[in-house]
Amino acid sequence: MRPAPHLLLVLAATAAVALAACGGVRVKPVDDVPPPLVDEVALRAGVHYSDEFRRFVHREERWGTAWSVELGGAHVTKLDRLLKAMFPGLVEVADLAKPPQPALDLILEPRFEEYSFLTPRDSGADYFAVTIKYRANVYDGRGRLIDSLVYTGYGNSGSSGLTSAKPLEVATRRAMRDAGAKFATEFPAQETLAKLLRGEPVEPVAPGVPEASGTIGEVETTPVAPTAPGTPGAPGPAGTAGAAGAAGGASAAGSPGGGGTPAAPSAEATGTGASAQPGSAPAEAAVPSPAPAESAPAATAPAEATPPPAAKPPGD
């Protein structure tokens, strides 16, 4: 007797979970987006990619599975393509302490602030969601910090088949694309660039002063999806990374109906596999809250018609 089809699906899903738990999930997104169509900015610019940025890998363990997402290489490729379209003649700066001569108008240094994601098991929905938060440090031609901006990208992908790697890769690529679009359209409108374009001096940030807390677009919050009551090790809500790059702390909360305080999942975002890049803070992915459905107006029962007064018989 052949097993029922639904039993085969259950067995296949169980096998996939077991494989993921044993071997972990490794994702290496590739930037395959064509050259962007953006307006050129009439400034001589450079870009500095730190070793931590180039080798950045997000690692964490969740639900007994090790997750690894290699982000550095694809981001260097993507940013090179985007920045060369925005700033013709872009120069790569190997060392911020030794800026090129003649002096450039500005030097950009990208950093990862946070990579976070939700799986279908986390959200209870049939999709993967990814949030990537970045910091763009802006230096003048002498290598002095003059601005620092935070921006985020969001992407999601429906779960497909028995693998977690492919939909997480797709969601990551979409988050990268979203962040790149925000940067390309909104970075040229920042006040620092406006001053540089007008030829006005921009004062450097004083030593010891925390990095500027400017933002490009709206910085997403990072709520955690609800988990099943009483689930051991369920992730608690994680704090968002502050605009100054401080790591967000994880504040635990009890599972719905569980009454306990589950531990947040262990996670680390590393540039070399050993040490975290400054300013990075793993957390749960932001999921835009669906717009509340407009409540339909309550139906009003038609008023009962008042019967006409009975006619009096003749002679009364």
Judge whether 173 lies within some domain.
yes
User: Quick one: pLDDT band at residue 226, thresholds 50, 70, 90?
Assistant: very low
Number of H helices, E strands in the chain: 6, 10
| Mean pLDDT, rounded, for 241-248 | 33
| 230 occurs within a structural domain | yes
Percent of the chain topping pLDDT 90: 50
- Does residue 296 belong to any structural domain of this protein? no
Q: Do the domain assignments include residue 41? A: yes
Phi, psi of 189 (to 5 degrees): -90, 0
Do residues 299 and 145 make contact, with C-beta atoms less than 8 angstroms apart? no
CB 120 within 8 A of CB 159: yes
Q: Is residue 79 part of a domain?
A: yes
CATH (domain of 136)? 3.30.160.150
The CA-atom distances, in angstroms, between 207 and each of 98, 99, 143 are: 18, 18, 13
CA dist., res. 225 & res. 256, Å (int):
11
Strand-pair partners of 155? 130
For residue 192, what are the contacts with CB-CB under 8 A and spacing of at least 6?
138, 146, 147, 202
Looking at the structure of the chain, the number of domains it has is 1
Residue 290 has pLDDT above 70, yes or no: no
Give residue-wise pLDDT tens across range 36-49. 789 999 999 999 99
Q: Which residue has the higher pLDDT, 236 or 179?
A: 179
Tell me, yes or no, whether 312 lies in a domain. Answer: no
Per residue in 134-187, pLDDT (tens digit) is 999 999 999 999 999 999 999 999 987 668 899 999 999 999 999 999 999 999
306 within some domain: no
Which residue in this structure is represented by tokens 């002679």? 315
Tell me, yes or no, whether 186 lies in a domain. yes
With a threshold of 0.75, does the pTM exceed it?
no
Q: Which residues contact 311 (CB under 8 A, 6 or more apart)?
A: none
Q: Is 248 left (phi over 0), alpha (psi -120 to 50) or beta?
A: beta
Which residues form the domain of 198?
25-246+262-270
How far apart, in whole angstroms, are the C-alpha atoms of residue 209 and residue 143?
A: 16
- Among all chains, which residue has been given the structure tokens 């790569």? 92
Q: What tokens were used for 103? A: 């002096």
User: What's residue 2's pLDDT?
Assistant: 52
